[in-house]
Amino acid sequence: MNYPIYLDYNATTPCAPEVIEAMIPYFGMHFGNSASKAHPYGWLAENAVEMAREQLAQLIGAKPKEIIFTSGATESINLGIKGTFEAFLGEKQHYITCKTEHKAVLDTFSEIQKKGAEVTYLPVNSQGEISLEELENAILPHTKMICLMWANNETGLIHRIPKIAEMAESKQIILCTDAVQAAGKIPVSTKGVHLMALSAHKLYGPKGVGALYVRHNHELPKPLAQLHGGGHEKGFRSGTLNVPGIVGFGKAAELRSREMEAESQRLEKLRDTLERMILAIPDTFLNSSQFNRLPHVTNIAFAGLEGEELLKQINQKVAVSSGSACSSISPKPSHVLQEMGLNADLGRASIRFSLGRSTSNDEIQQAAEWIESVVTRLRKLK
């Protein structure tokens, strides 16, 4: 198949060749169940899982015992939020999040609201930033959790998590962060963080495996399990572990620890080149600040064009998206861009470009030229 140029790395990344190589033996020769403690098949699988736990812990600055493997970040987020709600059951509970969070967070908070939780959804400015003053003013005596993503999946905006961690720590409030788009792309740290959701397929690992960092040795309660049946993963998440996937996750984390700094510098230059070329097209606008964002992401609005047709035409030669992959089935404008103040038409005519490990300078040049030709052609037809 003649694939288009791929600039949708925030939706998913291809497994790195080294990751595939590391995984293959655990589908066949080393097929054991890591919970089988009585024979070498299980021992070898368990050792592989523990090595991956260490590799992932090193990437985010955690202890291996604080890494809980899950089926993906959505499960991790559900475990963190619903598990915390259940840990405080019987108490008055208040949570703080943001209107531009991923749907995995927003929908999960909607569920615990149905069960009696109070939730404050902080607004954002035109750059997608929250006010730390508004965040502090939103804290109530019964606030149990602040939940904010490390970096936005649509615009690349990076929230000031270290400052927010200090605030949460001073108030004895659990801090939960969706670090899916940040981990492996920029340095992240667990300092002051109690819960952190991660996903393998966003950092060149396989789909179907994720993790939740759960802070140990702290007086605030840990989340209660949402899956029961065997007490796997220290009782946080029952179920037979996806050993090949976990091995791949660990290998991907190891690769990102090595490559991240140089790769982010390379991609930032390519992203800036793409951005300059596209923004030279009349009536195009950057949907974020030029500062304090992920190095490989840009989100650009194309005024005066019908969003669905624009995306369809661009995707003939350049694979991009209008926002989160989880929301791309909906024709509605991005909730993130709406909350930043974009009108519905401009929101629908906005495209996220996200670069990755295989992106080359030639691809950036070709992509920009194709996008300009599409936009010019569509505007002539109007």
Please say if the pLDDT value at position 93 is more than 90. Answer: yes
For the domain covering 17-254, report its CATH number: 3.40.640.10
Under a CB-based contact definition with an 8 Å cutoff, are residues 10 and 153 in contact? yes
Tell me the per-residue pLDDT of 135-165, one tens digit each, with 9 for 90 and over: 999 999 999 999 999 999 999 999 999 999 9
What is the Cα–Cα distance from 34 to 260, expressed in whole angstroms? 30
**pLDDT at 325 (0 to 100):** 57
What is the Cα–Cα distance from 313 to 7, expressed in whole angstroms? 15
For the domain covering 5-12+260-381, report its CATH number: 3.90.1150.10
**pLDDT at 216 (0 to 100):** 95
Which residue is it, tokens 């819960």? 195
Under a CB-based contact definition with an 8 Å cutoff, are residues 221 and 88 in contact? yes
Where in the sequence numbering do the catalytic residues fall? 326
State how far Cα 136 lies from the chain centre: 25
Residue 327 CB-half CA count within 13 A: 22
Residues near 149 by beta carbon (within 8 Å), at least 6 away in sequence: 98, 101, 102, 105, 159, 177, 178, 179, 180, 181
Please say if the pLDDT value at position 357 is more than 50. Answer: yes
**pLDDT at 322 (0 to 100):** 87
- Per DSSP bridges, beta strands 297-302 and 284-286 are antiparallel
**pLDDT at 1 (0 to 100):** 81
What is the domain partition of the chain in residue ranges?
5-12+260-381, 17-254
Please say if the pLDDT value at position 346 is more than 50. Answer: yes
What secondary structure letter does DSSP report for 186?
Answer: B
**pLDDT at 333 (0 to 100):** 85
> For residue 302, what are the β-bridge partners?
284
Q: Which ranges constitute the DSSP H helices of 228-280?
A: 243-279
Tell me the per-residue pLDDT of 169-190, one tens digit each, with 9 for 90 and over: 999 999 999 999 999 999 999 9
Residues near 280 by beta carbon (within 8 Å), at least 6 away in sequence: none
Strand spans (E) along 71-226 = 94-98, 118-122, 143-147, 174-178, 195-199, 210-214
Q: What percent of the chain has pLDDT over 90?
A: 94
> For residue 286, what are the β-bridge partners?
300
Phi and psi angles of residue 284, each rounded to the nearest 5 degrees, phi first:
-120, 145
Taking the CA atoms of residue 302, residue 264, residue 123 and residue 134 in that order, the dihedral angle to the nearest 10 degrees is -150
Tell me the per-residue pLDDT of 114-130, one tens digit each, with 9 for 90 and over: 999 999 999 999 999 99
**pLDDT at 329 (0 to 100):** 47
Please say if the pLDDT value at position 330 is more than 60. Answer: no
Residue 37 CB-half CA count within 13 A: 1
